[in-house]
Amino acid sequence: MLKAIRRLAAFCLCIGLCWGLMIPASSEAASSKPDDLSVLKRQAEAFTDTKARLPELARLVSDQDWTFTRNLIHGPMQEVGREMLFINKSLDRAERKNADKLARSLKDALAGLDEAARLQDAGQMQKAYSSLAASFDAYSDVIPAEALS
């Protein structure tokens, strides 16, 4: 009988310890949510600022301004990959896979535009810009609505 009581007491102690360890973790996760949201908003804002520079990039592409096209890509638009990485980290696993694919597509389009400008190939530059603009639009749909508000 004493052995059964010891087993029951040990089991209750294990349940109590597990419960005690889970409660602080869940309250910490709930308290870090506003911080995560502020980081997400900041990254989404930086992404939309970069997207807002697309008309300027379009003008440079149509003017066949090779140097300033590359300067814009390597300057203000350079951080878009890091911004998408932070945004993707905040998404669910199911959404993250698609977002990673779209981010990779956008970075490839940006690299294609840079390469076309380096080679001074106007036709390839137009195609790469079209692909880049489409990639920006597609990735914009992935960003959570609360990050854009």
Mean pLDDT by 10 residues, the chain (149 residues): 78 70 54 67 90 94 92 90 89 89 94 94 94 94 83
Asked if residues 60 and 120 have their Cβ atoms less than 8 Å apart, the reply is no
Integer Cα distance of 108 and 102 in angstroms: 10
Integer Cα distance of 78 and 131 in angstroms: 17
pLDDT at residue 115, rounded to an integer: 95
DSSP H or E run through 1: none
Q: Phi, psi at residue 55, to the nearest 5°? A: -60, -40
Does the global pTM surpass 0.85?
no
Asked if residues 102 and 138 have their Cβ atoms less than 8 Å apart, the reply is yes
CATH architecture of 33-148: Up-down Bundle (1.20)
What residue segments make up the domains of the chain, in order of their start? 1-31, 33-148
pLDDT at residue 30, rounded to an integer: 43
pLDDT at residue 28, rounded to an integer: 45
pLDDT at residue 99, rounded to an integer: 92
Integer Cα distance of 139 and 53 in angstroms: 15
Strand, helix or coil for residue 142: coil
Integer Cα distance of 61 and 14 in angstroms: 66
Q: Among positive and negative, which fits the CA dihedral 99, 85, 56, 58?
A: negative
pLDDT at residue 76, rounded to an integer: 86
pLDDT at residue 148, rounded to an integer: 76
